[in-house]
Structure 1
Amino acid sequence: MKKYIILTLLITTVSFAQKTTLYCIGDSTMANKKDPEKNPEHGWAQVLQPLFKDNIVVVNKAVNGRSTKSFIAEKRWDSIYQKLKKGDYVFIEFGHNDEKIEDPARYTNPHTAYRYNLIKFVKESREKGAIPVLLTSISRRNFNEKGVLVPTHGDYPLETRLVAQEHKVPFIDLEYHTELLEQSYGPDKSKELHLHFKAGDNPYYDKDKADDTHLSLLGATKIAEIVINEIKQSEEPLLKNLKNGIK
């Protein structure tokens, strides 16, 4: 009996030790939403866990409305930093709210504060032996009258790319891949990726809803699949554990 208990404890300990935590930090396009059974809005990291085996544990710490600046100021990053351990991953996707130039609590200059906040996340993740992964912001559904998808993020994606390159950080260009996604659906059908409802179409909304930034379950799922596909195709050795953890 003692041998059985000891063996069980050893198996449990080894099994627990093999689990890798994937922290997700970012804004509402990534965040978990309340009441997911009824709420049409989903963040793409909200639907990421089912795409991994049990040895990868997704901890989604993205929060609606946050920029790199407010995420740090509210001590949200500190709370994650304290828990980080060797071999963990940190997916970093900010930009939508860093652009809010009318809001001093959130706005960051892309070439200064935004850049240095990304570098802070990268360096402090590495201090703990964790692996940071930088992602550009997802594209908004912003087609002009000619059916051309017009970018809205200014220089924020550029700075994300530069930080990834200069600091040799694994990188997923979500802006590029979600542009392709939006374009593949086209100006009208791409509404299905977002939140477009007439009053009464969905019991969650009592008024017309036309949101081209946030995601429907379909949109969130498609973007989560893009992330998984990019990990699969990556030759980055630091992503090996994540790649092996994909279903």
Structure 2
Amino acid sequence: MAGMTLDRRTLLRAALGGAVAGGLGFAGAGAADAGHRPPRRTVFVAGDSTAATYAVADAPRAGWGQALPVFLRPGIRVVNEALSGASSKSFADLGRLDRILAAIRPGDVLLISFGHNDEKVEDPARGTDPWGAFQDYLRRYVDGARSRQARPVLVTPVERRRFTADGVPYQSHGEYPAAMRALAAGTGTPLIDLTASSFARWGALGPEATKSHFLWLDAGVSPNYPAGVADNTHFQAHGAIEVARLVVAEGRMLPGRDCRALRETTIPDDVLVWPATRPAES
């Protein structure tokens, strides 16, 4: 197998399995850290369906948070709380932010990535104005992490697969990425501009090649999608891995970045682990 040994694949699957199992296991993690070893640093993910961890019944659908451990060393724990359908507002209003803040520790990192569902302004439970409530809610994540001596990192929303009839990519998130960039600058918060890096990536690949990244499957290819699927927002395993690569490549503030993995040109889809149920929804 090009670029990756069997041992490397086994290690990655073990790391990913641990991250999935740890998604809701805060108490167990604390008990494990209570011994003589120093506590493991943790990367928490607050986000939406593009980052979420998916179950066996959803495979090969996957989120970039699910693939994040591929590019982090095994000593770094990932707790992916990204929730399908969530906006910055609904995630906080549902108590999901409080849940993270109850578990996060000094030195941990909180990745904050919203925008897709904030754009649904017709939905009062989720919609936010980019220069108003969106920034106000994001500030709650930033301030909450800092109050616990953890490091917040804002991540602009990953771009959708959008091309004109002539094959020219176009952006779909309106002013939300700009509003997040402005908040990052105004509050001195580190920023990963995933909107920009993913837009450049999809443009370089073009309309056809991007289908192998997004959840595009022909009928009969997957038992979970017998009629096929053409989804321009969510990812299959390959796309989730490559978006996670973009996050970690730009995220130089992340602990335990695995530069060797970032240099791997071919990472097999089956390094990912799909748990029995979606951990953020269990």
* Equivalent position amino acid for 2:45 in 1: C
Q: 1:109 aligns with which of 125, 129, 138?
A: 129
Structure 1 stretches lacking a partner, 5+ long: 1-10
TM superposition shift of 1:12 = 8.0
1:13 aligns to 2:35 (yes or no): yes
Q: Which has the higher contact order (CA 8 A, sep 6+)?
A: 2
* Equivalent position amino acid for 2:56 in 1: D
* Equivalent position amino acid for 1:140 in 2: R
* Equivalent position amino acid for 2:69 in 1: Q
TM superposition shift of 1:184 = 1.6
Q: Note if contact 1:228-1:246 (Cα within 8 Å) is conserved in structure 2.
A: no
Q: Note if contact 2:71-2:257 (Cα within 8 Å) is conserved in structure 1.
A: no
Compared CA separation, residues 85 and 210, structure 1 to 2 (3 A): same
TM superposition shift of 1:242 = 4.2
1:192 aligns to 2:235 (yes or no): no
More deviation, 51-60/160-169: 51-60
1:27 aligns to 2:80 (yes or no): no
More deviation, 219-228/198-207: 198-207
Q: Note if contact 1:91-1:132 (Cα within 8 Å) is conserved in structure 2.
A: yes
TM superposition shift of 1:199 = 2.3
* Bigger Rg, structure 1 or 2: 1
More deviation, 222-231/149-158: 222-231
| TM-score normalized with structure 1 length | 0.87
3-state SS of paired residue (1:228): helix
User: In the TM superposition, what whole-angstrom CA distance separates every residue of 1:152-181 from its partner, at most 9, and x where no partner exists?
Assistant: 101100011011111111111000110111
Q: Note if contact 1:56-1:245 (Cα within 8 Å) is conserved in structure 2.
A: no
TM superposition shift of 1:209 = 1.1
For 2:74 and 2:88, the matched residues in 1 are separated by 30
User: In the TM superposition, what whole-angstrom CA distance separates every residue of 1:174-208 from its partner, at most 9, and x where no partner exists?
Assistant: 00110111112111111111011232222111323
Q: Note if contact 2:222-2:228 (Cα within 8 Å) is conserved in structure 1.
A: no
Q: Note if contact 2:109-2:254 (Cα within 8 Å) is conserved in structure 1.
A: no
Tell me the residue number matched to 1:95: 115
Compared CA separation, residues 217 and 244, structure 1 to 2 (3 A): closer
| TM-score normalized with structure 2 length | 0.77
Structure 2 stretches lacking a partner, 5+ long: 1-32, 262-282
Q: Note if contact 1:53-1:246 (Cα within 8 Å) is conserved in structure 2.
A: no
Coordinate RMSD, CA, aligned: 2.0
